[in-house]
């Protein structure tokens, strides 16, 4: 897939995180001009390291910051082909102990973020997509938690299920409006990043496993392929959905989980 994205302009949120960084580097390697975005002051040397064009501070819950980001991309590049919503947080807590503030913050990052960003980018991506054989492409990183339930993840599952249907509804609406913007979601299971490390620690704190090692062992065993994903496994799926190879993928959910939800 080298050069598959030659000259395409991409925006990746959550770009300094475990999955976002590898997605940015993978899109850049395929020829895309990548703009990375993440929380302010999180990106020393990030653009150079990933081969990306630039980095912008962006809190995905801030509507005004989204407007500024899209306007800046339009001014500098005149196009936006690919938008990857990666930014996300996880609250690992019993339902009865989850505070309304935790619930709302998780919804703000995981659901408001893709809503605000898709809304802000729609016009520019429709304009860009009109000139491309298979349109422009929005990819939302959901989770297997958007497909099946999981203990200590009630709010997280709710947020990831919400963006799954949000993606499908955007796909339907954009087609109805004649916008050539494909919208798809990606559903990973366990991916070896800081987020999974945090989840494993919380499992131990809640007495679901005696140690982080044991919790990790149990999680790995739940994957029929015998391992958790590496970020590159997810990045390859994103690269595919971003490319013309995926020209007929629209409103779909791409499950990248080593068989986790097939059993
Ligand atoms: N790691 C996994 O096992 C796994 C599995 C399925 C889905 N996911 C999803 O993949 C995405 C990336 O997860 P990860 O494992 O790389 O986690 P991570 O914690 O390494 O990265 C998350 C990134 O999101 C950024 N972020 C958080 N709040 C933000 C905000 N308000 N504005 C902008 N950026 C913000 C963080 O700064 C961080 O860089 C998340 O949406 C997560 O829910 C992860």
What are the pLDDT digits (tens) for 212-263? 999 999 999 999 999 999 999 999 999 999 999 999 999 999 999 999 999 9
Cβ–ligand 1 distance for 114 under 6 Å, the answer: no
pLDDT given for residue 113 in this prediction? 99
Kindly state the DSSP code that residue 17 receives in the 8-state scheme: S
Query: Cα-flanking dihedrals φ and ψ of residue 57, to 5°?
Result: -65, 130
Q: Give catalytic status of residue 248 as yes or no.
A: no
- The torsion defined by the Cα of 187, 2, 45 and 80, in degrees rounded to 10, comes to -70
- Output phi, psi for 156, to 5 deg: -65, -45
Mean pLDDT computed over 198-222: 97
Q: What is residue 40's predicted lDDT score, i.e. its pLDDT?
A: 78
Q: Which of 203, 205, 187, 209 is nearest to 153 (CA)?
A: 203
Inform me whether the pLDDT recorded for 1 exceeds 90: no
User: Are the C-beta atoms of residues 259 and 156 closer than 8 Å to each other?
Assistant: no
pLDDT tens-digit profile of 18-63?
999 999 999 999 999 999 999 977 677 999 999 999 999 999 999 9
Question: Which member of 156, 179, 240, 260 is catalytic?
Answer: 156
Contact 234, 188 (CB under 8 A): yes
- What is the CA(40)–ligand 1 centre distance, in A? 15
Cα–Cα nearest to 43, from 1, 67, 89, 12: 12
Is residue 209 scored above 90 in pLDDT? yes
Pocket test of ligand 1: the residue of 14, 120, 143, 232 to mutate, having most ligand atoms within 8 Å of its CB, is 14
Give the pLDDT confidence score for residue 42 in this predicted structure. 67
pLDDT at 8: 98
Average pLDDT over residues 155-164: 98
d(CA 86, CA 185): 11
Domain ranges of the chain: 9-189+230-255, 192-228
Position 79 pLDDT exceeds 70: yes
Distance, CA of 143 to CA of 187 (rounded, Å): 4
Q: Give the position, in ligand 1's atom list, of the atom nearest the Cα of 144.
A: 6
Q: Which of 11, 12, 15, 17 to mutate to test the pocket of ligand 1 (most atoms within 8 A of CB)?
A: 17
CA dihedral over 260, 89, 246, 179, signed as positive or negative: positive
Our measurement of the distance from residue 99's CA atom to the centroid of its chain's CA atoms, rounded to an integer in Å, reads 25
pTM over 0.95, yes/no: yes
219, containing H or E segment: helix 212-221
Q: Is the CB of 26 under 6 A from ligand 1?
A: no
Q: 9-189+230-255: what fold?
A: Rossmann fold (3.40.50)
Predicted local confidence at residue 3, as pLDDT: 84
Q: 1-10, 75-84, 156-165: which range is least confident on average?
A: 1-10
Calculate the CA 231 to chain-centre distance.
Answer: 11
Q: What is the pLDDT averaged over residues 153-159?
A: 98
Report which protein residue has its CA nearest ligand 1's atom 41.
88
Give the chain's mean pLDDT.
Answer: 97
Residue 110 CA to ligand 1 centre (angstroms): 9
Q: Provide the CB-side half-sphere exposure for 17 (13 A, CA).
A: 22
């Amino acid at each position: 897939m080298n050069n598959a994205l030659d000259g395409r302009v991409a925006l990746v949120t959550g770009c300094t995180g475990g999955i976002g960084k590898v997605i940015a580097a993978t899109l850049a390697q395929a020829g895309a001009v990548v703009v990375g975005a993440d929380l302010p002051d999180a990106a020393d040397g990030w653009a150079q390291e990933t081969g990306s064009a630039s980095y912008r501070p962006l809190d995905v819950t801030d509507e005004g910051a989204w407007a500024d980001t899209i306007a800046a991309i339009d001014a500098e590049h005149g196009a936006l082909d690919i938008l990857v919503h990666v930014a996300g947080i996880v609250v690992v807590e019993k339902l009865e102990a989850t505070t309304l503030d935790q619930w709302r913050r998780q919804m703000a990052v995981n659901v408001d973020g893709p809503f605000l960003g898709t809304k802000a980018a729609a016009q520019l991506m429709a304009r860009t997509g009109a000139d491309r054989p298979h349109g422009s492409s929005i990819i939302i990183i959901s989770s297997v938690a958007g497909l099946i339930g999981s203990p200590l993840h009630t709010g997280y599952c709710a947020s990831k299920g919400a963006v799954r249907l949000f993606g499908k509804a955007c796909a339907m609406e954009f087609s109805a409006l004649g916008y050539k913007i494909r919208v798809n979601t990606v559903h990973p299971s366990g991916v070896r990043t800081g987020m999974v490390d945090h989840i494993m620690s919380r499992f131990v704190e809640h007495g679901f496993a005696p140690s982080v090692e044991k919790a990790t062992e149990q999680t790995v065993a739940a994957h029929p392929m015998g391992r958790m994903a590496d970020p590159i496994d997810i990045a390859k799926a994103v690269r595919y959905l971003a490319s013309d190879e995926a020209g007929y993928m629209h409103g779909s959910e791409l499950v990248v989980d080593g068989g986790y939800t097939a059993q």
